Structure 1
Amino acid sequence: MTDTSGLTPSKPNNGETDTESVLSPALSVARPAPFAAALREAVRLRGLPLDRICERLSARGIRLTPATLSYWQRDRTRPERSDSLRAVVALESILDLPPGGLSALLPPQRPRGRRAARTDEHATRRLYGQESWQEQALGDAFADFNRDIVVLLTREVLHLDRRGCVRHLIVNHLVRAVADGPEQMMNLHFLDDPDGGLPEATVHCGRLESLRQDAASGGVMLQIGFGRPLTLGETMAVEYEIRADPYDRPTGFHERGIRGNQDCYLLHVYFPHDRRPALCQSYYRENSSAPQRKVRPLAVDTSGTAHLYAAQCRQGIYGMSWRWPDDSSSQGPSRLRLRGTAPPARQ
């Protein structure tokens, strides 16, 4: 269920490298040379132009440009992708260095791209709004809400009964640690009926640490443990199911708040086999108080389901709405709404 992404170059057992045995005497220093300096000096001593080195790499099935080699020498970039790490190993042979002469000088690979950044408190507040029920329910824990993990993808499957009311919801996440140590994640759901009591929650992947309800808003908080601390860059799959007593009115929409950039979001709604919506649409909202934008029609397939798929999601709220043929639920809220949505005004 877990995967450590990226490759970490091998290092000597004692944590240091004897540069006299790895590089030429001209490179001997008291401590190992950084990768960029070692590569630059090895290229100089070998006397090969960068384009000639790239030709020799190409003969081994490795494509690298002289510009990339130049950036590596000047420490403007460093090898991180798997093909780049293969090139480093080949360079050790081309430059007459023993195995590990360059790769041992590389630092551990860091998470790449936008997901390496933590989702901070300000980003969370931009999505939920000032004095949101999420902030009030979490209290001091709001500042550290899922701080050391990012969600890579989310899949939700929503089943409705023949009245069009929520029967159960299945949620799948793939998360990645952006620091050492996270052991759990928190998921927030909003119940329109605060007197309806806690729903039944079953965690299929992970461990249910706590399930509680905020009395003021009716919001439900699930704390799901990973079973052990994650290391930087490690991923974890989480899956759970929520079953609730049906709401009094048919459901008219379902939405998910996404706090930070995410690879994809998939919402799959199963409508009752003998009752199909007259209209089904997807939409996007920038935050919990913003209006719907990017409204698009969605088709209901022959199996009576519709799905919303969003790739490279930015921060915001992604949702699906539908209208029943008799229009009985055009104003009816869903009993279950996912984190990031504000509760409706109470009458």
Structure 2
Amino acid sequence: MEFAGALRQAIQASGLTLERIRHRLAQRGLTVSVASLSYWQRGRSRPRSRAVVATLEEILRVPAGTLIELLDDPVPGAVPARGGHAAGRAGGVQQSSLGGAAGAGPELWPDPEGYARVVGQLDLSSEHRLERLSIHDLYLLGPDRRPRALVVREVLRATGDDVDRVVRVHPVDDPATGARPEPEPAGLRYCRSGRVRAESGLIGFELVFDRVLAAGDTVVIEYELSRPAGDYERRFPRPVRDYLAVVQFHAEMLPARCYGFSRETGDAPRRRLGELWIGASGSAHLALGDVRRGIVGIEWEWE
């Protein structure tokens, strides 16, 4: 049986309302909205935290592992969009959409404790009331093969009222390697910067929308980072309907090969999704639909 069907049956058998289940999760320190519970049992999205699912098993009084074992592979198979020329070091698609609390998604990061410290200093109150419709990343490399900038555009939709911001976290160059100040998001469009926190090779920041959203409202945000980390991978603690990653190489420094990859956690091995071709534009891209939970990226090999 699929996860959604098993969860739906367990909820019906328990006799509990979704609001009651939400309340019992909250009593255990887990913030999950009624809308999320509804999406899970209808198959529109999947839980991002195994701890939440384990607690659901306890609340619904089903045997341990009954629901966890039915969770889908976090990243669906991809049909890479072709485009290139291209080889060694790996890059990946970076940044993270956060979960509704500091504990949502830390296992997707190499340093979960550092991640938790960064997001613990930011306002995550709106995270569980935002649906990710699309994320488009443009990753620019210079002639020295090093990353020059990451440009991000997102389309979000509010699933509740009074939503005014979103939190984003990215790995950045280790500040210990140079005297440059910590980067801040630049090129902001349709939003403004809120609090910014950086440590452990991560930068986290709030992006405040240009208006307060009511349920059903959509918003577009755009921002840039001038000093992203060398690897290019994006972490998905929450589902995203449409994801596009474009890596733009310098015209005088093209890799020999380029691949898409996925992995389940920050310390899990990469699984290649297929070779990406680089065309006359000197870029490669990876287009995915209905990405659920996990990590997706692009890697390349230099000659």
Provide the TM-score with structure 2 as the length reference.
0.61
Preserved contact between residue 121 and residue 197 of structure 2 (Cα < 8 Å)? no
The Cα offsets for residues 291-315 of structure 1, whole Å up to 9 and x where unpaired, read as: 1124311111111110111111011
Residue ranges of structure 1 left out of the alignment (5+ in a row):
1-109, 326-347
* 1:140 Cα deviation from its structure 2 partner: 6.4
Distance 2:210 2:43 in 1: 27
Preserved contact between residue 123 and residue 206 of structure 2 (Cα < 8 Å)? no
Q: Residues 91-240 of structure 1: matches in 2 within 5 Å?
A: 114=44, 119-121=99-101, 123-128=104-109, 131-139=112-120, 144=125, 146-195=127-176, 196-200=180-184, 201-214=186-199, 217-240=200-223
Preserved contact between residue 128 and residue 287 of structure 1 (Cα < 8 Å)? yes
* 1:142 Cα deviation from its structure 2 partner: 8.0
Distance 1:129 1:198 in 2: 20
Q: Give the aligned partner of residue 297 of structure 2.
A: 319
Match of 2:218, as an amino acid?
T
Q: Give the aligned partner of residue 5 of structure 2.
A: none
Preserved contact between residue 118 and residue 197 of structure 2 (Cα < 8 Å)? no
Preserved contact between residue 124 and residue 167 of structure 2 (Cα < 8 Å)? no
Q: Residues 231-310 of structure 1: matches in 2 within 5 Å?
A: 231-244=214-227, 251=230, 253-310=231-288
Q: 1:150 to 1:133 in 2, by over 3 A?
A: farther
Q: 1:240 to 1:276 in 2, by over 3 A?
A: same
Q: Which fold has the larger relative contact order, with Cα–Cα distance below 8 Å and residues 6 or more apart in sequence?
A: 2
Q: 1:178 to 1:263 in 2, by over 3 A?
A: same
Secondary structure of the corresponding residue to residue 227 of structure 1 = strand
* 1:228 Cα deviation from its structure 2 partner: 2.7
- Compare 111-120 and 142-151 and name the one that shifted more: 111-120
Percent identity of equivalent pairs? 29
Match of 1:212, as an amino acid?
R
The Cα offsets for residues 59-90 of structure 1, whole Å up to 9 and x where unpaired, read as: xxxxxxxxxxxxxxxxxxxxxxxxxxxxxxxx
Preserved contact between residue 211 and residue 223 of structure 1 (Cα < 8 Å)? yes
| Aligned residue-pair number | 209
Residue ranges of structure 2 left out of the alignment (5+ in a row):
1-37, 49-98
Distance 1:296 1:116 in 2: 25
The Cα offsets for residues 244-291 of structure 1, whole Å up to 9 and x where unpaired, read as: 3x98xxx4x300001122111111111010111011111001121211
Q: 1:116 to 1:254 in 2, by over 3 A?
A: closer
